[in-house]
Amino acid sequence: MTKPRTAMVLAAGLGKRMAPITDTIPKPLVKVAGKPLIDWGLDALANNGVERAIVNTHYLADQLDTHLAKRSVPEILVSDERTELLDSAGGIVNALPQIGTEPFYVINADTFWIDGAIPNLVLLAEGWDDARMDILLMIATKHQATGYDGRGDFNMNAEGKLRRLAADETSPYIYAGAAIIHPRIFAEASAGKASLNHYFDAAIAADRLYGVPMEGIWLTVGTPGAIGDAEAAIARAGQGIHG
């Protein structure tokens, strides 16, 4: 496929685990290596040809609005959730009129990555197969990650097909906060709060949830203590760009 030209950036969360830093600023504006978290993602999108990014906002939204207004690339459209936090899928459904009808990138505003030889957004686009997929997730392994101590998110077979872990299973595979989604999966969706996990499960049931292994390093910054780990990984990699 040609690379998506539109992206949804999920930036409306409360960031409670990042307190006390987030007592006064929204989590997407927390700086890592001198750059706000959201700009790591937006720079990656811009560097990979994305023309338009829809950013949902809720907590301390005025600060995000002011920051986003300073950017010219990609074009930023704000999806205002001040009155009600809609969760990941609800935020996308709310923004569908701005997203359009073509497959689009989704990235989390609070995770980012350092690319390998091929940008990971390119790997996602190259891995997309519209005939087989409704959702394609960027997948990291635990040895690629900083700030992660969970049991994994999915099992992945040789074709990239994903399934959930059983209660007693662990896996090296982690959803790395970036994906391509086809908006057709929201055709019957109603407005209101909803999680993307519901749509992941529906895609699994239809054999249409896939993953593509990322290259490079994945950084998740969920707590103040994780900032130093991320900055150390960036320093080791010797680069300050995301895409």
Calpha distance 29→39 (Å, rounded):
8
| Element spanning 196, H or E | helix 196-205
**DSSP, res 65:** H
Q: What does the pLDDT read at residue 128? A: 98
> Average pLDDT of 131-155?
94
Beta carbons of 204 and 101 less than 8 angstroms apart: no
Per-residue pLDDT of 168-186, as tens digits, reads 999 999 999 999 999 999 9
Q: Is 135 helix (H, G, I), strand (E, B) or coil?
A: strand
DSSP state of 183: G
CA 164/CA 155 separation, integer angstroms = 6
- Work out the mean pLDDT of the chain and round it to a whole number: 94
Domain spanning 6-237: CATH 3.90.550.10: yes
Q: What gap in Å lies between CA 117 and CA 82, rounded to an integer?
A: 39
pLDDT for 146: 87
Closest by alpha carbon to 22, among 67, 64, 84? 64
* pLDDT > 80? residue 243: no
Residues 234/36/181/188 CA torsion (nearest 10 deg): 150
Examine the pLDDT at 233 and tell me if it is beyond 50: yes
pLDDT at 148: 86
Structure confidence at residue 240 (pLDDT) = 46
Q: b/e for 162-180, b at 16 or more Cβ within 10 A?
A: beeeeeeeebbbbbbbbbb
At residue 198, the pLDDT reads: 96
- Give the model's confidence band at 2: pLDDT under 50 very low, under 70 low, under 90 confident, else very high: confident
Please determine, for residue 242, whether its predicted confidence score (pLDDT) is greater than 60. Answer: no
pLDDT band at 104 (very low <50, low <70, confident <90, very high): very high
Token pair, residue 184, equals 């057709």
pLDDT at 53 over 60: yes
> What per-residue confidence (pLDDT) applies to 241?
45
For residue 111, the model assigns a pLDDT of 82
Mean pLDDT of the region 141-160: 93
Comparing 101 with 147, which gets the higher pLDDT?
101
